[in-house]
Structure 1
Amino acid sequence: MFKFNFLYISKIRATWLLYLIGLYPLLIFLAELLNSNFLSLSATQTNSVSFLELFIAIYDTQQKAMISLIIVGYLASLLFYSEISTGRLLFYKDQSRYKIFNSKLTSIISSYFIFLSILLLSTLVVYLFYVNNHQYSSHSFMLNNYKLNQTLILNLLGIFLTDLFLIFYVVIFSVKFNSGITIISMILCYVVIKLTDNINKIKFFPSNFTNLNTDKDFIFSLLAMSTITVVYIIIFYVLAITIFRKIQF
């Protein structure tokens, strides 16, 4: 059933748009060819930009744009709400609802990881063939700065876990509501997460644990971010599959 859902979602134009967004770092070559400043990379210090730092900057930029997450929310709504409301799931009434739900959820997550892989490879191409031609490149995966690398790892994990959080969160709404309400709920949730990032006393979400004061904070933050994400995912999964099982189709 996973294969069927994955092939179905792969035929949707929005899925290919998601994959194309993963290629957006390559626009830097087009900008250079056209001598345009609409997309540029720069740094003030020599040997200061590692591959990890570049990927985090690109990953964070695409998350803040929210286009990829909106597409994921739209795909979730197509796989759940649209198929329920149109009666398409009647063809699977003899199948286990757990199996149906899990195959759809896995298809959505797989599409996201394909997008992320494309984004990673695109960033690698940019780093090797563009950034390395400039003095600000460190020509390395990480800088020889232990504290900075710890901060970068936490930032990367914070972005990734926030995406996972939002994907599972949006599935709850996609089971019951149309794509408009589903996407709006995700945008509002993301805004709340970003607001709490600027309030030190509030730590409800994975990205709230990216600030370091001591070396011990790194291990604590890793554990806290991972634990809180797992807890949220379990809660969201249970809620979503419970709602899905109770829906008549």
Structure 2
Amino acid sequence: MFKFIFMYVFKIRATWLLLILGLYPLLIFLAQFLNSNFLSLSASQAGSVSFLETFIAIYDTQQKSMLSLIIVAYLASILFYNEISTSRLLFFKDQNRNKIFNNKFLSIIIVYITFLIILCVSSIIVYLYFVNNHDYSSHSLLLKDTKYNHYLMTNLIGLFFTDAILIFLSLIASIRFNTGVTIITLITGFILIKVTDSIDKIKLFPSNFIKLDSNISFSQNLLIMSVITLVYIVVIYLVSKLIFKKLQY
């Protein structure tokens, strides 16, 4: 069943659009060729930009655009709401509902992880053949500043955990609501997370812990971020599974 569902997801045009979106960092070469500033990377200090910082800048930019997450919400809506509303799930009436749910969700997760891998490979190419040609490149994965490296790592993990929570949020919304409402739910969740990021006293999401606290070690910070994320995704997953199991189709 998983192979059938995954191949179905893979044939959807939006899936290919998401994977192509992972190549967007390479547009910097086009911008360089056209002598345009519509996409650029720069720094004021020589030897100050590592690959990790470059990848975070690229990852953060694509997350703020929300294009990849909106596509995921659209895919979730196709796999769940559309198939429920059109009674296509009747074809799976003899199958275990938990298995159907898990296979659909796993297909979406694999597609998104593939997108992140493509984004990472594209970022490596940009770092090797663009950033390394400039004085601000450190020509290394990390800088020699341990504290700053820890800050960058929490940034990267915060971005990834934010994606995870928003994808799960899209999942639960797509079971009950159409594509438009699912995307609005996703955007609302994203805005809420970003608003709390700017309020120091509110610590509800993993990205709220990006700023390292002198009273908390790096490992403790990561543990807190991981636990918060795990709580969100487990609760949303279990509730989503329960809703799907009780559906009449």
TM-score interval (norm. to shorter): over 0.9
1:214 lines up with 2:214 in the alignment: yes
Structure 1 consecutive aligned stretches of length 4 or more whose deviation exceeds 6 Å: none
Alignment match, 2:247: 247
Larger displacement relative to structure 2 (235-244 or 212-221)? 212-221
Ranges in structure 2 where 5+ consecutive residues have no aligned partner: none
TM-aligned CA deviation for residue 110 of structure 1: 0.4
Q: Deviations over 1:128-150 (max 9, x none)?
A: 01111111100000000000000
Ranges in structure 1 where 5+ consecutive residues have no aligned partner: none
How many pairs were matched up? 249
Q: Deviations over 1:49-103 (max 9, x none)?
A: 0000000000001000000000000000000000111111101001000000000
Tell me the amino acid that sits aligned with residue 234 of structure 1: V
Partners in 1 of 2:36 and 2:208 — Cα distance?
Answer: 36
Q: TM-score, normalised by structure 1?
A: 0.98
Alignment match, 2:176: 176
Partners in 1 of 2:155 and 2:25 — Cα distance?
Answer: 19
SS for the counterpart of 1:211 is coil
TM-aligned CA deviation for residue 170 of structure 1: 1.1
Partners in 2 of 1:143 and 1:9 — Cα distance?
Answer: 40
Partners in 1 of 2:202 and 2:161 — Cα distance?
Answer: 17
1:98 lines up with 2:98 in the alignment: yes
Alignment match, 1:17: 17
SS for the counterpart of 2:191 is helix
TM-aligned CA deviation for residue 4 of structure 1: 1.1
SS for the counterpart of 2:217 is helix
TM-aligned CA deviation for residue 216 of structure 1: 3.5
Alignment match, 2:43: 43
Alignment match, 1:130: 130
TM-aligned CA deviation for residue 215 of structure 1: 7.2
TM-aligned CA deviation for residue 221 of structure 1: 1.2
SS for the counterpart of 1:140 is coil
1:162 lines up with 2:175 in the alignment: no
TM-aligned CA deviation for residue 213 of structure 1: 3.1
SS for the counterpart of 2:112 is helix
Partners in 2 of 1:58 and 1:173 — Cα distance?
Answer: 28
